[in-house]
Amino acid sequence: MCAASTIEIYHAKKKSILNAKQKEEYQRNGFLVIQDFVPASICKLLMDRANALIDNFDPSIVKTIFSTKDQKHAKAKYFLDSGDKIHFFFEEQAIDENGNLKYEKSRSINKFGHAMHDLDPVFNLFSHNHKIATLITDLGMHDPLLMQSMYICKQPHIGGEVTCHQDATYLHAKNNNIIGLWFALEDATLENGCLWVIPGGHLGNLKSKFIRENDTTRLEVYDETPWSLDKMVPLEVTQGSVIALNGLLPHMSKENTSSRSRHAYTLHAIPRETEYPSTNWLQRSADMPFIGFL
Ligand code: FE2
């Protein structure tokens, strides 16, 4: 069966996905785990497509950017330009100081993003489907637009830690109204670096803001109090689960110390009514506006 028809079946329209208890849980905790949201066949389809994109990526194009020798500016530009493209980023431990890969390419990619939900036909079909639209609406966001997508590999043994943060630090919208969806394409466990969250932590304020000014960025800090890491709980989930995250919820993931990868696909949505802030690092060219759902 081709990708389009497989995903078409998955699209089947539903009026509602979440029950009242789940909606209340999301409002109270700032996150919600839904098991079996994505069928195993579609997880495989997305992983196969990710592997094909990685296969087609020529790392020599960005070799100089990722060498550790004084390439800060080039690295920052490659990142800032990725809002309306598909750019590849390496695990820190996978690159030597000259930008050479220490491992084979498919084992060196940390993530790629941030617009495959619009640019790649397979990720586009998956991302803009009715089931996801219904989920986001059920979570309380009316008429969402998809702002960003990321495919995260969390490679065996070298998959790095992502320190505790709020997504609203990096993605700005009116009233910090942002919903993140984290799709587990493989089982996520303590060993391979599952997500950790602080339940209810979204009720606190935004602690910092990553601000873009033309081609530079800076971090504006409002609250230097360290995160209460003792309140973190792990979210071990099985393949096909989705974790919905409020933009203010503190979350993190630890290193992958196992011999298994931890592939995940993420989407971030903002309300269409948001006047898109110029402070966002993620900016698109005028001919590629954010789009919502079919
Ligand atoms: Fe995050």
What is the SS3 assignment for 75? helix
User: What is the DSSP annotation of 114-139?
Assistant: ESHHHHSHHHHHHHT-HHHHHHHHHT
Q: How far is the CA of 166 from the centre of ligand 1 (A)?
A: 6
Q: How far is the CA of 289 from the centre of ligand 1 (A)?
A: 23
Task: Give me 118's structure tokens.
Answer: 């619009």
Q: How far apart are alpha carbons 221 and 207 in whole angstroms?
A: 6
Torsion of CA 130, 144, 81, 165, to 10 degrees: -100
Please check whether residue 205 is in contact with residue 222, taking contact to mean a CB–CB distance below 8 angstroms: yes
pTM score > 0.95 for this model?
no
Task: Give me 88's structure tokens.
Answer: 């590849």
Q: How far is the CA of 54 from the centre of ligand 1 (A)?
A: 22
Q: How far is the CA of 250 from the centre of ligand 1 (A)?
A: 8
Residues with CB under 5 A from ligand 1 (ion): 167
Q: How far is the CA of 152 from the centre of ligand 1 (A)?
A: 11
Q: How far is the CA of 49 from the centre of ligand 1 (A)?
A: 23
Q: How far apart are alpha carbons 48 and 182 in whole angstroms?
A: 18
Q: How far is the CA of 246 from the centre of ligand 1 (A)?
A: 10
Q: How far is the CA of 124 from the centre of ligand 1 (A)?
A: 21
Task: Give me 110's structure tokens.
Answer: 């940390």
Q: How far apart are alpha carbons 190 and 276 in whole angstroms?
A: 37
Query: Along the 294 residues of the chain, how does pLDDT read in single tens digits?
Result: 566 656 655 555 668 999 999 999 999 999 999 999 999 999 999 999 999 999 999 988 877 777 666 567 888 889 999 999 999 998 888 888 777 888 888 888 999 999 999 999 999 999 999 999 999 999 999 999 999 999 999 988 988 889 999 999 999 999 999 999 999 999 999 999 999 999 999 999 999 999 999 889 999 999 999 999 999 999 999 999 999 999 999 999 999 999 999 999 999 999 998 889 999 999 999 999 999 986
